[in-house]
Amino acid sequence: MTSAASAYNFPKASRGLESLVDDTSGAISVLPVLQGEAEKVTESDPLVKNWATVSKFKGKSGELLLVPGPDGSVSKVLLGLEGLSDIWGFAALTKLPPGKYALQLPESAASPAAASTAALAFLLGSYSFDRYKKKTPDTDSGKPQLVWPKGADKQAVSALSQSFYLARDLITTPAEDLGPQHLVEEARALAAAHAGASFNVIQGEELLAQGFPAIHTVGRACSRPPALIDIRWAPGGADAAQLPLLALVGKGVCFDSGGLNIKTAAGMLMMKKDMGGAALMLALAHVIMSGGLPVRLRVMVPAVENSISGNAYRPLDVLQTRAGITVENGNTDAEGRLILCDAMFEAATEKPDLLIDAATLTGAARVAVGADLPAVFSSDDGVWEALNSAANEENDPLWRLPLYKPYRKLLDSKVADIKSCATEGPGAITAALYLQEFVKDLPRWVHIDTGAYNNSSKDGRPEGGEAQALRALWRYLQQRYPKRQ
């Protein structure tokens, strides 16, 4: 077990940048082959054309063809792509043998964007979680390197890749080494890395004293005390106080036993990832601050472990909340919404222009849309339409579920103001309707119910923790809050 005295993951989030280099000497050329253009690309070189024919190269997305030179070594590489925005096609480059490669993108108006996409894809594909693996002399020497593609936005790509590495590391780290206090230190390190950021944390009994009773109730049974992380940031400038306020809230359940409604062994197995919403919001905060987005930012992460002990909260207990709303607890394994409601209500008191929360909240969302698609709820149709458009542009898909008001009655309680969960009906929707009670007065609110995990490895998406929706959210926020020219 590592001490929570300092951050472990955030300082290592830039490690992937070593796979991109500036030196072009000795680099092997990689030629993109867009779908349906394999014959066009190869017709000028009989050797390449014959080799592609023999190898049955079709130029499918992510398909690689290593063309040998006279001495048998690789002389060039063909890479199949659906188009120049095919991020997962570009990610296949990390499967190349050790060596240095240079991507030869066609000169066009799309080239800078394609160059950044290719660079990010290579970084995402180069990711590995090897914290607990023995290091050997050939651990890194056996990996390919890519020359920074011409025109790539190095700063933007670096910040986004660091955000992915941070989120993936946090989610994949076992709970023994990522409890509430570890998450506090990771957030503290994140804030310290950005000029203009401040950091505050409320822990343990102080949560009661300062009016966050639901967070305390859920986390009090663990020997590692519950905490509420609070980061604020604004870019420099005399007009910073006039910028719109953006609030991010992430569920930070560092491990979920289910509490007294204890999970099965199978249900509990992957619960180290139950802080995936917090990881996503911290990752998004990093890219926002790195990119100097013209907003005032507030990030809140309630961090707890849902454990079992003599003082654990119980089914049908009535919980107090920061909002003054009493909650009849229907299930101790539906704890995420209880800690979120305190943090979300506090964030809403400052009337942000937009509030986004993210959580690994319900199994029902995974039943509805599967492991790869985050379910999204939005109180504003225009926000959803813009976010969905950004998601499609980024090939980072999301799926909207409805805030169907007639289902709200399923949360009616005879002993409290509201039930925490319904005993029947669509669980993802009723969970979102519960959260909406705490942000009723906000004009724009987005709730993301994410799986936060790749269940199997694909190009650029290794098995393990994942910042699902990060690219979509970042593109959307850049469009909503454009920088002044």
Active site residues: 263, 337
Distances (CA, A) of 130 to 125, 126, 169: 14, 12, 10
Q: Please classify residue 254 by burial: count the beta carbons closer than 10 Å to its beta carbon, then call 0-12 exposed, 13-18 middle and 19+ buried.
A: buried
Closest C-alpha to 287, from 394, 179, 146:
394
Closest C-alpha to 438, from 332, 335, 328, 326:
326
The residue type at 93: L
Q: How far apart are CA 420 and CA 325, in angstroms?
A: 11
Are 360 and 467 spatial neighbours (Cβ–Cβ below 8 Å)? no
Q: How far apart are CA 94 and CA 362, in angstroms?
A: 34
Are 258 and 315 spatial neighbours (Cβ–Cβ below 8 Å)? no
Q: How far apart are CA 39 and CA 49, in angstroms?
A: 7
